[in-house]
Amino acid sequence: MSEIDDRSYWSPTKIASELAYRSLSEAAPKHARGRLIDLGCGAKPYQPLFAPFVDSHFGVDFAATAGLHYGEATKADLLVNGSETGLPAGSYDTVLCTQVLEHVYDTKAFVSECHRLLAKGGKGIFTVPFLWQTHAEPNDFFRFTRFGLERLFTEAGFKVLELRPVGGSYSALIQTAIVSQHCREIDSLPARAVRKALNLVRLPVLNWLALNLDRLFWNDKLCLNYLLVVAKD
């Protein structure tokens, strides 16, 4: 979490953070229940959102990257070295996995492990990027279309309950432009100061425009993420 809250209009990731929060806020009361396992949990940012609907929230993360990216903020209850968790089959009612699948090289093995961990009738809630710059290098391998996701999860034995874009073309284009500019390295101290001052003005305007233009001119051929909800019959 940055010093400016991710959902603040002055945050460079306001658009993605706001849309993710909205989509998960809708999914949690409809689909989450019982024992929840959060795969790639990081700092468990969505634990407060899911807490009213589940009995427990168990976090798993990858040993090689958890400390590197989250440091002392890591809230993993278990660290693993690959897709296999070693946890008992059918021991969870809900799988939560947000913005993780792109970092897993063996996606088929990972999705199969999600299926194995779920009890019969359990559900998985995933958010997956379609458009985003490379991040967490070198562990950034894939971007997904809705068709790729549907095939990947149905072949693992899941039933797809919901698969929809999160953020339309305006959100995708404006968010990508903001992040690309924000992450560009600037050596000059005066130039950094100018950029910071400009961001105080332009970030709230661009963030507001993206979210509202999507409302007026919806086009989901280009989106930021997908929300995927699946069930194990």
Mean pLDDT of 98-119: 96
Output the pLDDT for position 67.
64
Output the pLDDT for position 2.
38
The DSSP code for 88 is P
Residue 12, pLDDT > 50, answer yes
Structure-token match 């009738």, residue found: 121
Residue 190 pLDDT level (bands cut at 50, 70, 90): confident
Q: 193 or 36: whose pLDDT is higher?
A: 36
In a domain? residue 81: yes
Nearest to 39 by CA among 88, 99, 93, 89: 99
Output the pLDDT for position 187.
67
Q: Which residues pair with 160 in a beta bridge?
A: 230
Q: Other C-beta atoms within 10 Å of 111: how many?
A: 25
Q: What percent of the chain has pLDDT over 70?
A: 94
Mean pLDDT of 114-135: 96
Tokens for 227? 């929300």
Q: Which residues pair with 229 in a beta bridge?
A: 125, 162
In a domain? residue 174: no
* Residues 6 or more apart whose Cβ sits within 8 Å of residue 228: 124, 125, 126, 127, 128, 149, 153, 160, 162, 163
pLDDT for 147-180, tens place per residue?
999 999 999 999 999 999 999 999 999 999 999 8
Report the chain's mean pLDDT, rounded to a whole number.
92
At 82, which CATH number?
A: 3.40.50.150
In a domain? residue 45: yes
In a domain? residue 25: yes
Q: What is the pTM of this model?
A: 0.90
Residue 3 pLDDT level (bands cut at 50, 70, 90): very low
Tokens for 57? 């929230």
Give the lowest-confidence range in 15-29, 56-70, 160-174. Answer: 56-70
Residue 1 pLDDT level (bands cut at 50, 70, 90): very low
In a domain? residue 3: no
Query: How many structural domains comprise the chain?
Result: 1
Q: CB–CB of 62/80 below 8 Å?
A: yes
Residue 197, pLDDT > 60, answer yes
Output the pLDDT for position 5.
59
In a domain? residue 52: yes
Range of the domain at 63: 14-169+218-231
Q: 136 or 64: whose pLDDT is higher?
A: 136
Tokens for 218? 């919806």
Output the pLDDT for position 68.
64
* Residues 6 or more apart whose Cβ sits within 8 Å of residue 72: none
In a domain? residue 212: no
Distance between CA atoms of residues 186 and 124, nearest Å: 41
In a domain? residue 97: yes
Q: What is the DSSP string of 133-176?
A: ---STTS------HHHHHHHHHHTTPEEEEEEEES-HHHHHHHH
Output the pLDDT for position 189.
76
Mean pLDDT of 65-91: 85
